[in-house]
Amino acid sequence: MYSKTVMDHFKNPRNVGEIKEADGIGKVGNPVCGDVMWVYIKVKNNKITNIKFKTFGCVSAIATTSMLTEIAKGKTLEQAEKITRDDVAKALGGLPSIKMHCSNLAADALKKAINDYRKKGNNS
């Protein structure tokens, strides 16, 4: 059902954890629906220098957040904002259609983290 890349990111998720003094945090999902994703970012010179995540959810929820953090690391905020669910799904070698909402959520979590950073007003 899942691609090799999905299973690799699920079994060995990249960038799990929190950033204590994060510049932006994005929280999406709802435990009732079975997916909650929190993304933490550290920003320097308009670039994402560090990114971590925590996820409550299924195999694809964990794999998509893991892959998202890999894609976003080192990107400028403008580049990172443009990451779509299809980018994440493609990088994972595809997702079952019923699980596509997971990659949607992951991309949303990153956008929220970037907005949070900008709201804090330290986008100098």
Partner 1 sequence: MQDEGEKMIIYLDNGATTMIDTEVIKEMTPYFTEKYGNASSLHMMGVWARQAVEESRTTIAKSIGAKDDEIIFTSGGTESNNFAIKGIAFANKDKGKHIITTKIEHDCVLNSCKWLQTQGFEITYLPVDKEGYVRPEDLEKAIRKDTILVSIIHGNNEIGTIQDLKKLGEICKKNNVYFHTDACQSYTKTELDVKKQNLDLITLNAHKIHGPKGVGVLYLKKGVKITPWQHGGGHEFKMRSGTENVHGIVGFAKAVNLAMNTKHAKHMTKLRDKLIDEVMKKIPDTLLNGPKGDNRLCNNVNLSFLYVEGEAIGAYLDAERICSSTGSACSSKSLEPSHVLIAIGLKPEQAHGSLRLTLSRFTTEEEINKTLKVLPGIIEKLRKMSPLTKLVKKML
The residues that touch partner 1, with contacts defined as CB under 8 A, are 7, 10-11, 13, 16, 27, 31-38, 54-62, 98-99
Q: Which residues pair with 36 in a beta bridge?
A: 29, 56
Q: How far is the CB of 46 from partner 1 (least distance, A)?
A: 27
Q: Would you call 102 a catalytic residue per the annotation?
A: yes
Q: Would you call 58 a catalytic residue per the annotation?
A: no
Burial 39-66 (b: 16+ CB within 10 A, else e): bbbbbeeeebebbbbebebebbbbbbbb
The span from the CA of 114 to the CA of 10, in Å, is: 24
Q: How far is the CB of 103 from partner 1 (least distance, A)?
A: 14
The length of the chain in residues reads 124
Q: How far is the CB of 42 from partner 1 (least distance, A)?
A: 18
In the set 18, 33, 86, 119, the catalytic residue is 33
Tokens (6 digits) for 100: 């596509």
In the set 72, 92, 102, 114, the catalytic residue is 102
Nearer to partner 1, 54 or 118 (CB): 54
Which residues carry out catalysis? 33, 102
